Amino acid sequence: MAKLILTSSIKSRIFAALIAAGVGVPSAYVATELTVPSEGFLTHLHDDPVGKPTACIGHLIQGGEKAQKTYTEDQCITMFVTDWVKHEKLLDSVVKVPYRSGWMKGAVTDFTFNKGIGNVKSSTLLRNLNAGNYDAACFQLTKWIYGTVDGKKVVLKGLDIRAQAQYKYCMGDLPADYKTKMQQYTGG
The CATH number for 31's domain is: 1.10.530.40
pLDDT digits (tens, 9 = 90+) for 14-39: 999 999 999 999 999 999 999 999 99
- Is 60 exceeded by the pLDDT of residue 1? no
**What are the Cα distances from residue 42, in Å, to 39, 75, 76?**
9, 11, 8
User: What pTM, to 2 d.p., does this model score?
Assistant: 0.93
Based on its alpha-carbon atoms, the radius of gyration of the chain, rounded to whole angstroms, reads 16
**What are the Cα distances from residue 145, in Å, to 16, 27, 105, 116, 175?**
30, 22, 20, 14, 21
pLDDT digits (tens, 9 = 90+) for 81-129: 999 999 999 999 999 999 999 999 999 999 999 999 999 999 999 999 9
Range of the domain at 136: 8-186
| Residue 2 falls inside a structural domain | no
Query: In which band, very low, low, confident or very high, does the pLDDT at 13 lie, cut at 50, 70 and 90?
Result: very high
- The closest alpha carbon to 30, from 157, 167, 186, belongs to 167
- The tally of domains found in the chain comes to 1
Query: What does the alpha-carbon distance between residue 79 and residue 66 come to, in Å, rounded to a whole number?
Result: 13
Query: What does the alpha-carbon distance between residue 155 and residue 170 come to, in Å, rounded to a whole number?
Result: 21
Structure confidence at residue 115 (pLDDT): 94
| Residue 161 falls inside a structural domain | yes
| Residue 115 falls inside a structural domain | yes
Percent of the chain with pLDDT over 70: 98
pLDDT digits (tens, 9 = 90+) for 49-83: 777 899 999 999 998 999 999 999 999 999 999 99
